Amino acid sequence: MKYAYARVSTLHQDLEVQLQALEKEGCDKIYSDKFTGTKTDRPQFSILLQELKPGDTLVVTKLDRFARTTADGINTIKGLFEKGIKVHVLNMGLVEDTPTGRLILSVMLAFAEFERDMIVERTQEGKAIAKQKGNFKEGRPRKFKRAQVEHALKLLETNSYKQVEEITGISKSTLIRAKKREGKLQLG
């Protein structure tokens, strides 16, 4: 049987391109996760590894979809080879359990790890430069302006959270956080 695995690093990224490629490849069953490759906790990947049997093929679009470090990738693929499972990486081809296949695999995994490390380094450099400019704020920009949140908090005095959410579009959890912040400001 042909199994496939797709992964993106964040909840905001889209799996669609990978899923289409894996479906086009004729995979019988596709598993996917939205977890960073640096984390070992990838629930769907763990389930997939348990389901694979000798003679099956695991298909991924790129090596870095299931392993970001060279050691992790080599160990995972070595374990699959030992169980009699083939590994097909769409942008590389079938990875063979031969000395040449293992060498190519090691080199490709090393490049994938290097590429990831370079992305992290460039991101950190960009943050360091942005922090020097003084107006740097870590994280996602706020969706609502302070005045909008204050208006919504005022509406809470006479309306339920659900009603305020319908009127303003500001979620209950955002309003609760704003109330907590407001309470701390009044206490301090």
57-60 and 29-34: which strand pairing?
unpaired
Burial class for 4, CB neighbours closer than 10 Å (0-12, 13-18, 19+): buried
**185 CB-side CA count, 13 A:** 6
The C-alpha atoms of residue 44 and residue 33 are separated, in whole angstroms, by 6
Q: Which helix (H) or strand (E) holds 34?
A: strand 29-34
Sheet holding 93-95, edge to edge: 29-34, 2-8, 57-60, 86-89, 93-95
Q: Which residues pair with 8 in a beta bridge?
A: 34
**Which of 9, 106, 160, 173 is the catalytic position?**
9
Q: In the annotation, is 46 catalytic?
A: no
By annotation, the residues acting in catalysis are: 9
